[in-house]
A and B are shown apart, each in its own frame.
Chain A
């Protein structure tokens, strides 16, 4: 997805025919009003809205299936277990993984913490190094800092360019015999940059170093194939993928999961418990202590089915057209500076307006019905790097329209005229 070739795609009639009007009927919340204005929801990088099929499935679960999984002897427990494990298989198929490599977590944050703890316990020792990048979300920084503190290991950081891309030459220099893991984001939540993850994995693997990718911002917008990527760990959140909150996924290669100790202790994760010695279950259950979020686990598969029915390739193309349209129009507004101008981006636009604080713009957009996010977007080191107080971030999903972008631009112009 190259946004340098923008001139020929600046049109309200994209080549990619996505029936957005019909799709929008699946999302009741998009038809609500806020402050008396029709809602324009451009905060999809924070969380996505949910289609009816997901909302119905949540209710259906509690009406027809609700029971605990993996331990029951009765009908409902078997039904719940079957649906729970079927969802694991749907997710595995979606990522091109095996189902025993799919671990349910609370979200991306817990998935990363799990790897930082369990992989760290198994493989990281005094003086070892972990590599992250300067554009990481706090959830892909802090767990590694905690691991480094625990193990007396060293955290190394890949610097970025002013366009918001990783400095790959610097990355190559950071890889050393002490490096145990590279943990980077697939797509930046603040800038939208799509990182060259294939190259990162190839370079790391050439030195027998494992790679974790934070896929929270990638999975809702593109097809991800973990086998093709050959990535060691991949994680994402259900709520950004049009599914419920409180559910996330960690993919891990079996060869690593098998060697990793549990993250938490409790029910489900054990084979046998005596008061003196406990043996642990095989992955993935080894990493799923306690009663899981059964409803959200099951419903996540419905969200994935929904997205696949529309087609992620079509979604990616349509969202890219939205990005081009909004980028070109935004650039024409006096004083607007887009932060993150990498050639490969998802539909995320961070920007600042000269002389105006991002939060002022956010408040005035909200009052005109437009939902964006302002601030550091949980990427303080990245924002500091650009020496700005934060950005206004508009992030699109496939249910957004070109007309909504026009409404947003009009509201932005009004906000700027009031604030200047």
Chain B
């Protein structure tokens, strides 16, 4: 599934929810099923700065594609990072770097993108792309 297709799938998934609490219930569910990061990566080097809660992100290259895993000490933050990982994971560095994602806006979570927002969704996406850049350099 392409990045865009996954985005569309998420948008459709969120369409069924009537109110905010249902949306967040779903985000919490996603948070509980995020691909678990290996405990050894839960360190400062893997921490995403700019979040009120702690977020750790690990990226690795497998057969030319990047696999992301993450964790957070806050479950909603973990759900948000889970959504982002679902969109980007298992794609080539090139695809990730060039992806212009729009699903966050479409499902009404754009408030989390604001730079003043403490959840740091912006910081997560930046880190995901940054890691892709670094891994592209390595793979080349």
Q: Indicate whether A359 sits within 8 Å of B25 (C-beta atoms), given known contacts A367-B20, A375-B118, A390-B52.
A: no
User: B73 contacts which of A357, A367, A368 (Cβ < 8 Å)?
Assistant: A357
Interface size, B (range): 10 to 19
Which residues of B in the span 64-80 have a Cβ within 8 Å of any Cβ on A?
72-77
B28 an interface residue at 8 Å Cβ cutoff? yes
Residues of A close to B25: CB separation below 8 A: 418
B21 within 8 A of A: yes
A360 contacts B75, CB within 8 Å? yes
A368 touching B119 by the CB < 8 A rule?
A: no
The CB with the most chain B CB atoms within 10 A, among A35, A363, A374, A418, is that of A363
- Pair A360/B21 contact, Cβ less than 8 Å: no
A265 at the interface (CB under 8 A from B): no
A65-109 contacts to B (CB < 8 Å): none
Which of A35, A358, A419 gathers the greatest number of chain B CB atoms within 10 Å?
Answer: A419
Taking A357-B73, A357-B74, A389-B54 as contacts, is the C-beta distance between A364 and B118 under 8 angstroms? Answer: no
A414 CB-CB contact with B under 8 Å: yes
| B28 neighbours in A (Cβ, 8 Å) | 418-419
Of the residues A36, A359, A367, A368, contact of B52 by C-beta under 8 Å: A359
In the complex, which residues of chain B have a beta carbon less than 8 angstroms from the beta carbon of A418? 21, 24-25, 28
Shortest CB distance B116–A (Å): 12
Please, how many angstroms separate the alpha-carbon atoms of A357 and B119 in the complex?
12
Give A358 to B52 CA distance when docked, in angstroms: 9
Q: How far is the CB of B114 from chain A (nearest CB, A)?
A: 13
CA–CA, A375 and B119, complex, Å: 11
Q: Which of A35, A360, A389 contacts B76 (CB 8 A)?
A: A360
Could you tell me if B118 and A367 are in contact, using CB atoms closer than 8 angstroms?
Answer: no
A363-374 CB contact bits vs B (8 Å, 1 = yes)?
A: 110011000001
Report A-chain residues with C-beta under 8 Å of the C-beta of B74.
357, 359-360
Bound form: Cα–Cα A125–B21 in Å: 57
Do A363 and B24 form a contact, CB below 8 Å, given A375-B118, A419-B75? yes
Residues of B close to A358: CB separation below 8 A: 52
Of A35, A36, A357, A414, the residue contacting B53 (CB under 8 A) is: A357
Contacts of B21 in A (CB 8 A): 364, 367-368, 414, 418
A368-B21, A418-B21, A418-B25 given; A359·B76 CB < 8 A: yes
Give the contacts of A350-366 with B (CB-CB under 8 A).
Answer: 356-360, 363-364
A375 to B28, CA, bound (A): 20
Q: In the complex, what residue of chain B is closest to A390 when comparing beta carbons?
A: B52
Known interface pairs A359-B76, A360-B76; A389-B24 also in contact (CB < 8 Å):
no
Q: Which partner residue on chain A sits nearest B54 by CB separation? A: A389
Q: How far is the CB of A371 from chain B (nearest CB, A)?
A: 14
Q: Are A375 and B20 in contact (CB under 8 A)?
A: no
Say whether A364 contacts B53, CB under 8 Å: no
**Distance to closest chain A CB from B122 (angstroms):** 15
Distance (whole angstroms) from the CB of A284 to the closest CB of chain B: 34
A: contact size bracket: 10 to 19
Pair A389/B73 contact, Cβ less than 8 Å:
yes
- Contact bitstring B19-39, A, C-beta under 8 A = 1, else 0: 111001100100000000000
Q: Specify which of B24, B28, B77, B119 lies most central, judged by the most chain A CB atoms within 10 Å of its CB.
A: B24
How far, in whole Å, are A357 and B20 apart by their CA atoms in the complex?
Answer: 19
Which residue, B21, B28, B77, has most C-beta atoms of chain A within 10 A?
Answer: B21
A35 touches B75 (CB 8 A): no
Task: Give min CB distance, B110 to chain A, whole Å.
Answer: 14
Query: Would A389 and B75 count as touching, CB distance under 8 A?
Result: no
What 1/0 mask marks residues of chain B from 68 to 101 whose CB sits below 8 Å from any chain A CB? 0000111111000000000000000000000000
Contact in complex: A364, B24 (CB < 8 Å): yes
Assess whether B53 is in contact with A359, with CB atoms less than 8 Å apart: yes
**Which B34-53 residues have C-beta < 8 A from chain A?**
52-53
Report the nearest B residue to A363, measured CB to CB. Answer: B76
For A389, the closest partner residue in chain B by CB is B73
Docked CA distance A78–B54 (Å): 55
Cα distance A364–B21 when bound, in Å?
7
How many angstroms from the CA of A414 to the CA of B72 in the assembled complex? 22
Q: A359 — which chain B residues lie within 8 A by C-beta?
A: 52-53, 74, 76-77, 118-119
- Which residues from B are CB-within-8-Å of A35? 20
Determine if A357 and B24 form an interchain contact, defined as CB atoms under 8 angstroms apart: no
Residues of A in contact with B (beta carbons under 8 Å apart) = 35-36, 356-360, 363-364, 367-368, 374-375, 389-390, 414, 418-419
13 contacts between A and B (CB under 8 A): A35-B20, A36-B19, A357-B77, A359-B52, A359-B119, A360-B53, A360-B75, A360-B77, A363-B24, A363-B119, A364-B24, A367-B20, A419-B28
